[in-house]
Amino acid sequence: MKSRGPARIGLYFFLICAALCFLIPLYVMLVTSFKSLDEIRLGNTFALPASFTLEAWRAAWGTVCTGVSCEGIRGGLVNSLRIALPSTAIAIALGALNGYALAFWRPRGANFLFAVLMIGAFVPLQVMVYPLVRVTALLQIFGTLPGIVLVHVIFSMPLMTLLFRNYYASLPVELFNAARVDGAGFVRTFVHVVLPMSPPIIIVAAIMQVTGVWNDYLLGLVFAGRDNLPMTVQLNNLVNTTTGTRLYNVDMAATILTALVPLVLYFASGRWFVRGIAAGALKG
């Protein structure tokens, strides 16, 4: 598959142009966030900042109004962390347990449940969102932290279960059988045999889940309640419900702050992120 001279130059030319196009939004976000509002009014959106200022970042972090209060986006960051961490831990624990039971124990009817779950992954959230409001209200957790965590765990269960089931199915079944011959039961086999072999898939699952929960808007808007609004909801409030002058530089700084956690996770985790996409998509 080697090509010669001009074709190869054309190839690189196209790829570099495409890469630049993909980078423009990130570039514009960054330069805008370092400009003063006066400079933005001059209109050179794509130019580098003439005078570099952190004013917008300070405002976005600590003083801008986000609909609930005027303490910047940092409260949203804390809320998103408080939502994402338990949602990830519980979802992974349940996913691992489900995957383990499905791959090794195969109880009767489990495949039917799994099929329902897999089909459920395609059902638009809008079908389930109102009944779930009633369910969480009934459990008296609507608009609370446990409420939003529960909802995230529910909606991530298909992907988490799929990831762990497929991973465990690829492990040699002899290990599992050996443990059973030695008299180890459901829990002991899980803890002593299966769990020690799980770190790779746990990392993949954690990356997918943190990114998914962090980037959610709809569930946070409906289920989190006023005191727990995640960063995405506060960002949207900040940008789209402000009255008076739009502070474009603050908007962009706040957008970068909101996107920072998944972006850092993405760039730091490299191939793990891609592995997660492949594991969730290709074998499904």
Q: Which residues, numbered 196-215, are part of the site for another protein (CB under 8 A)?
A: 211, 214-215
The residue (of 201 and 252) whose beta carbon lies closer to another protein is 252
The residue (of 54 and 125) whose beta carbon lies closer to another protein is 125
Nearest partner of 280 among 191, 193, 201, judged by Cα: 201
The residue (of 132 and 148) whose beta carbon lies closer to another protein is 132
Which residue from 68, 89, 128, 203 is in contact with another protein, where contact means CB under 8 A? 128
String of contacts with another protein for each residue 64-93, x by CB under 8 A = ------------------------------
Which residue from 5, 6, 124, 172 is in contact with another protein, where contact means CB under 8 A? 124
Which residue from 48, 54, 70, 123 is in contact with another protein, where contact means CB under 8 A? 123
Q: CB 222 → another protein: shortest distance, Å?
A: 7
Q: CB 67 → another protein: shortest distance, Å?
A: 13
The residue (of 50 and 113) whose beta carbon lies closer to another protein is 113
The rounded distance, in Å, linking the Cα atoms of 166 and 281 is 11
Residue 161 touches another protein, criterion: CB under 8 A: yes
Site for another protein in 92-111 (CB under 8 A): 94, 97-98, 100-102, 105, 107, 110
Nearest partner of 261 among 232, 220, 224, judged by Cα: 232
Which residue from 127, 178, 191, 197 is in contact with another protein, where contact means CB under 8 A? 127
Residue 222 touches another protein, criterion: CB under 8 A: yes
Q: CB 232 → another protein: shortest distance, Å?
A: 4
HEC secondary structure over the chain = CCCCHHHHHHHHHHHHHHHHHHHHHHHHHHHHHCCCHHHHHHCCCCCCCCCCCCHHHHHHHHHCCCCCCCCCCHHHHHHHHHHHHHHHHHHHHHHHHHHHHHHHHCCCCHHHHHHHHHHHCCCCHHHHHHHHHHHHHHCCCCCCHHHHHHHHHHHHHHHHHHHHHHHHHCCCHHHHHHHHHCCCCHHHHHHHHHHHHCHHHHHHHHHHHHHHHHHCCHHHHHHCCHHHCCHHHHHHHHHHCCCCCCCHHHHHHHHHHHHHHHHHHHHHHCHHHHHHHHHHHCCC
Q: CB 26 → another protein: shortest distance, Å?
A: 7
Site for another protein in 166-195 (CB under 8 A): 185-187
Cβ pair 184, 192 in contact under 8 A: yes
The rounded distance, in Å, linking the Cα atoms of 50 and 104 is 63
Q: CB 259 → another protein: shortest distance, Å?
A: 5
Residue 13 touches another protein, criterion: CB under 8 A: no
Query: Segment contacting another protein (CB under 8 A): 43-51, 68-76, 137-145, 194-202?
Result: 43-51
Site for another protein in 138-157 (CB under 8 A): 154, 157
Residue 252 touches another protein, criterion: CB under 8 A: yes
